[in-house]
Structure formats: structure tokens, C-alpha cells
Amino acid sequence: MTLQLLRLRLLQSRPVRRWCALRARAAKWLFGTPTTVLEVLNAGMLLVWALAVLDDRLIALPLYSTAFRLYTSSLANEAVSAVFFLAFIFAVAGIRHRGGTYDVRSGYALQLSALLWVGVAANFLGAYPPLNTEVLAYGFLAMICWTCGCHLWTRGKQSRRVRGKRAREVERA
């Protein structure tokens, strides 16, 4: 009986209530729309690739050496890493907020990253064997990113049009 009272008292304490409220808000933000999970996953993968391409030891691994044999110079690695990092910054810019402008930004960011993932899949396609897991995984990721990016872009444009129509109706009234 005393353990249950202690548990109830602990659950009603201020730090635990704050933690539960914070966790609920984070879950509502992350899982509020289906595309948010993809945007966060995509941004994380872009950051990992931006940092991993800088390390020459990754490209020396047997799996990556045939796929990324063009990136043997350090300037090429830094340029590819910069492209991935800029795509990461662009992806993070639209993740936090919702609304017309942010949806358009997120849509463009997902479409840009889809093009990067197609490039990664094409690099792995050039490696032997021609059809490997990386080609399928990054190709599938590119297809999902492109589809969700188009959806977000369209939804953002439509919400901006609706907001503009409502503003004109208010001015006329």
C-alpha cells in the first residue's frame, strides 16, 4: 500500500508532470503529421553523410571504395560534404514550424535531398554487384522523400492561397 502511495505522490510531483507534458508535446510535434518523422530522419541522415564523407577512412572501406572511387581527392570530399551540409541546414529550416511557408520550404528540402539520395544510389549502382542493398534502400528513400516533398509543397501552396482568399474577404467586408 505504501509503494502505491509513493508512486502516486511521485507521479504528481512537479518535475514528473513537467517531463510528461514535455514528452507529450514532443510526441505531438513528431507524430502530428506523418511527414515530420521523415523530415527528422532525412535531416539526420544528411548530417551523418556530411560528416562521414569528410572522413577518408570511410571511402577506403571495401564496400565504399568501388562506389565512391571518384572522391579520392580531399577537395571533392569537402565539396560533397558541403552540399550535404547545406541540404541539412535547408531541411532543418522547415522542420520546426507548420504552415504554408514552412511546408513549402520542407517540400523543397525533401525534394533536394531526394536528388542527393538518387546520386548516392547511383554511386552504389556503379559498384559491383550492380544491384545491392544500398541501391534499393537509397532509391526507396529518394522516392519517399520526393513524394512527400511534392505533397508538402502542394499543401503549403494551397494553404497560402486559402489564407490569401480569407484576407481578401475580410478586407471586402
Instruction: Render pLDDT for 11-24 as a digit per residue (tens, 0 to 9).
Output: 777 887 888 788 77
pLDDT value of position 32: 64
CA angle 130, 121, 139 (to 5 degrees): 105
- Contact (Cβ atoms closer than 8 angstroms) between residue 42 and residue 108: no
Q: Provide the residue type at 145 as one letter.
A: C
Q: 13 is written with which cell numbers? A: 510531483
* pTM of this prediction exceeds 0.85: no
Q: Across the chain, which distance is largest between two alpha carbons, in Å?
A: 69
Residue 133 vs residue 161, higher pLDDT = 133
pLDDT value of position 138: 92
Q: With CA atoms as reference, report the closest residue to 138 among 45, 33, 24.
A: 45
d(CA 105, CA 82): 19
Confidence of residue 2 (pLDDT cuts 50, 70, 90): confident
pLDDT digits (tens, 9 = 90+) for 143-158: 988 888 888 888 788 8
Is residue 60 within a helix (H) or strand (E), and if so which, with residue range?
Answer: none
- Please confirm whether the linkage preceding 62 is cis (ω < 30° from 0): no
Answer whether residue 45 shows pLDDT above 80.
yes
